[in-house]
Every structure is written in C-alpha cells, then in structure tokens.
C-alpha cells in the first residue's frame, strides 16, 4: 500500500474517534438521568443537574486539548460536535412536543463554537510552528 493511501485512510480516524469519545462521555454524564424533578410549587427542572453538564464539559476538555495539541484540529472540532449532536438527538428524539430539534440545534452550534474557540486558543499559544 502506498504512503498516500495509508495517509488518506487514516484521515477520518481522528474524526470518528472524537465523535465516539464525545458520545460516550454524553452517555456517561447525561444519558442515565431521564427524570424531571418536580417541585412543591408545581414547577419542574431537569432532567440534568448543573454538576452533570459541568462534568461533561470538563471531561471533554481533556480529549479536545489533547487532539488539538496533536494537530488533529478538524477531527477534534467536527468529531466532537458530531458526537455530541448525535448523542443529543438520540437522547431527546422521543420528546412529544417536537422541540427537541431546537435543543439539538443549540447543542450543535454551542459545541461547534466551544470546540473551535478552545482549538483556536490552543493553536494560538502553540509556538512549535504551523499545522
């Protein structure tokens, strides 16, 4: 197999890896909590607690930073965004109101913005040369 074919075959691997890691972290932090909390005044919150979302974000920083420092920026940004978006779609698609599409879109836009910002900040601080 030529060097070009080996390199071409390896290109989608970081994207798939970060998508799988992101979806697995979603499942670990948010996937198990599906019940809304009812309060005495009749209001409800949830199903996620703030510490779960904060835990997901902090845990995602590790593979995102590692991948950016390894120069897998497109794979990190697109893979992480895709993994979180797919996980949110799967988790929320049973919503009877149909508003889950709005939430999934917000997850897509928010994760894209956050991973792009982290990647840009890390690449700006990287003085080892261009990617």
Residue 11 pLDDT > 80, yes or no?
A: no
Q: Write down the pTM of the prediction.
A: 0.82
Q: Which two tokens stand for residue 13?
A: 């691997």
Which pLDDT tens digit goes with each residue over 29-50?
998 877 776 768 877 666 888 8
Q: Give first-to-last CA distance, the chain, whole Å.
A: 26
pLDDT tens-digit readout, 67-117: 999 988 999 999 999 999 999 999 888 888 888 899 999 999 999 999 999
Helix (H) / strand (E) containing 38: strand 37-38
Taking 70 as the threshold, does the pLDDT of residue 1 lie above it? no
Residue that wins the pLDDT comparison between 127 and 13: 13
With contact defined as beta carbons under 8 Å apart, do 79 and 23 qualify? no
Report pLDDT digits (tens) over 110-127: 999 999 999 999 988 664
Non-local CB neighbours of 79 within 8 Å, separated by 6+ positions: 14, 15, 16, 17, 18, 19, 21, 22
Closest alpha carbon to 49 in 37, 58, 39, 59: 37
Q: How far apart are CA 98 and CA 120, in angstroms?
A: 35
pLDDT band at 128 (very low <50, low <70, confident <90, very high): low
pLDDT, position 97: 84
Under a CB-based contact definition with an 8 Å cutoff, are residues 84 and 111 in contact?
yes
């Amino acid at each position: 197999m030529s060097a070009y074919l080996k390199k071409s075959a390896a290109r989608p691997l970081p994207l798939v890896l970060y998508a799988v890691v992101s979806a697995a972290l979603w499942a670990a932090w948010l996937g198990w909590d599906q019940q809304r909390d009812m309060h005495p005044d009749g209001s409800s919150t949830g199903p996620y607690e703030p510490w779960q979302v904060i835990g997901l974000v902090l845990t995602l920083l590790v593979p995102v930073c590692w991948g950016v420092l390894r120069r897998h920026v497109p794979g990190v940004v697109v893979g992480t965004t895709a993994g979180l978006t797919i996980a949110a779609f799967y988790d929320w698609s049973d919503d009877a109101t149909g508003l889950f599409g709005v939430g999934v879109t917000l997850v897509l836009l928010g994760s894209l913005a956050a991973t792009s910002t982290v990647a840009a900040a890390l690449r700006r601080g990287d003085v080892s040369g261009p990617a």
